[in-house]
Structures are given as C-alpha cells and as structure tokens.
Amino acid sequence: MIIRQATPADAAQMAMLLNEIIALGGTTAHQTPFDDDRMLQDYIVRPTAICCHVAELDGRILGFQHLDGPDPDQAEAQAGWGYIASFVAGDAAGKGVGQHLFAATRSAAIAAGVRSIDATIRADNVPGLRYYSGLGFIDYDRKLAVPLRDGTLVDRIKKRYDLAIDG
C-alpha cells in the first residue's frame, strides 16, 4: 500500500469511493454525491487544505484522508486547529488503511504547526467513532440534533487529538 498526496488525477476514484459510502448511509455527514469537480474543490485543491492523502494499492484508491486548516469564514474555526475527514472503501475497512493514512496526516499536521485536530462524527457512525477513539482522539463536545437532509436529527460528536509540538 502506498500513502501519497492526492492529485487532481485521483478525483474520479475518490468521488466514486465517497459516493459508495454516501449511498450506504450512516457513516458520513455527506448526503449528496460528489462529482470530480466537487471532489477537487472540497478536498484536493481546497485553499485551506493542509493535506489530502490517498491510500493506493495496485492503482486502486482504498481510502483518503483530508486535513483542513481553519476556515476564516466559519465561526467555529479555531487558530492552531486542523479539521479531519476520513473515508475508506468498505472492502478495505479494518485492514490498517486508516492508521496508515493518519500517520501521514499527523506528520503533515505537525509540520504545519497544528496543535489540535478536530474530528466531528455523526453519533450513529459507530465505526467512525471507534476509529478515531482508537487513534487517541477524545470527546470534547457534542452538537445536538443536527438535521439530515430528510429531517432526521442526529447528534455530532466532536473529538480532539492534541499534538505535541515543540516551541
């Protein structure tokens, strides 16, 4: 497995992977499918992005992880924080893809001076909550009753990973 920075050429495979996750439901806050352009803008070439890594095996993207810096247009954004999103293909789950991606993301975060990483996860996303807890993320807040597109209310659990940064 190769962990590398995502490129525009990865947009189609990344969109397909995320669209399969969206179609299954229950493990992502995204509810509308992605096309290549939206994948580029939201993850690969986003101006506030710190990194976007893909896990690739034999030319197939098994997963990707994006770390965004604070967006000055978002009221909740905090200086020194990164905001993470992780996606792994269903048939690759539980095979270490997420751990390998996080090792690369963590290194990029430290190099960028990020002090804490936020992972905001749907409360009904049990695999996602388990994944981030296993990496050492701790709960620090909860957003209550966030509506899905169909009106269903689902809490969002906010987890934090603090980085040891010298200086």
The answer to whether residue 20 sits within a structural domain is yes
Average pLDDT, the chain: 92
Q: Are 1 and 97 in contact (CB under 8 A)?
A: yes
pTM, rounded to two decimals: 0.91
73, part of any domain: yes
Q: Within a domain: residue 151?
A: yes
Q: Residue 143: how many CA atoms within 13 Å on its side-chain side?
A: 13
The share of the chain scoring above pLDDT 70, in percent, equals 95
Total domains, the chain: 1
104 within domain boundaries? yes
Instruction: Write out pLDDT tens, residues 85-123.
Output: 999 998 998 899 999 999 999 999 999 999 999 999 999
In a domain, 167, yes or no: no
- Integer Cα distance of 20 and 15 in angstroms: 9
Domain that holds residue 115: 2-162
- Tokens standing for residue 19: 């669209």
Q: What is the CATH number of the domain that holds 70?
A: 3.40.630.30
| pLDDT (tens digit per residue) in 62-84 | 999 999 998 777 656 677 899 99
Q: Could you tell me if residue 91 is inside a domain?
A: yes
Torsion angle in degrees (nearest 10) through CA of 77, 140, 3, 60: -90
In a domain, 62, yes or no: yes
Query: Does residue 111 form part of some domain?
Result: yes
Q: Flag the least confident range among 9-18, 69-78, 140-149.
A: 69-78
